[in-house]
């Protein structure tokens, strides 16, 4: 008997749906979008038959905030944000990015220590219902295909 396994395509499509229907709108609703870089980085992947969502490495800081610290955040990471937020570039953007980095170093981010609920949407009932619906449809299609093959093999 064939083993029932969802195709990577079904899993990828399900994860892309979670990104498009839930994660991106949540990010936008929090007013965090400046460059679009984070939104564009979100990518569904399948690893060992499991769906995953990958994105920028600073997602942690978006969700949890950043405490005041001895260490400044990287200025190079802030330059695109400054450029998008203030419409400036070059040395002026670099200078403002440095000032922003110093402020974050001294004061932390405005959403520290409480963080944001950016990633909590992934644990919501709405997301779970969406995933179950998509996977149920995928399993139904796969089971139907297996049954048709078995009927064909055994009765024709």
Q: Which residue has the tokens 């839930």?
A: 22
Cβ pair 115, 64 in contact under 8 A: yes
Other Cβ atoms closer than 10 A to 81: 17
Cβ pair 62, 121 in contact under 8 A: no
Cβ pair 19, 38 in contact under 8 A: no
Mean pLDDT (the chain, rounded): 88
- Where are the domains positioned within the chain? 1-66+117-141, 67-108
- Give just the sign of the alpha carbon dihedral 43, 48, 49, 50: negative
Predicted confidence (pLDDT) per residue in 48-98, tens digit: 989 999 999 888 888 888 899 999 999 998 998 899 888 999 999 999 999
Element spanning 43, H or E:
strand 43-47
pTM of the shown model: 0.76
Residue 49 DSSP class: T
Percent of the chain at pLDDT above 70? 98
Cβ pair 80, 58 in contact under 8 A: no
Q: How far apart are CA 46 and CA 7, in angstroms?
A: 10
């Amino acid at each position: 008997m064939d083993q029932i396994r969802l195709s990577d395509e079904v899993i990828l499509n399900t994860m892309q749906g979670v990104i498009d229907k839930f994660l991106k709108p949540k990010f936008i609703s929090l007013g965090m979008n400046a460059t679009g870089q984070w939104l564009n980085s979100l990518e569904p992947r399948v690893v060992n038959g499991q769906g995953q969502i990958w994105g920028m490495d600073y997602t942690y800081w978006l969700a949890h905030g950043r405490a005041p610290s001895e260490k400044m955040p990287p200025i190079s990471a802030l330059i695109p944000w400054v450029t998008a937020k203030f419409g400036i570039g070059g040395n002026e953007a670099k200078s403002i990015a440095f000032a922003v980095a110093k402020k974050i170093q001294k004061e932390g981010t405005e959403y520290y220590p409480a963080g944001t609920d950016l990633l909590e949407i992934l644990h919501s009932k709405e997301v779970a219902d969406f995933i179950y619906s998509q996977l149920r449809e995928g399993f139904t299609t796969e089971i139907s295909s297996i049954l048709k093959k078995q009927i064909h093999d055994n009765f024709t």
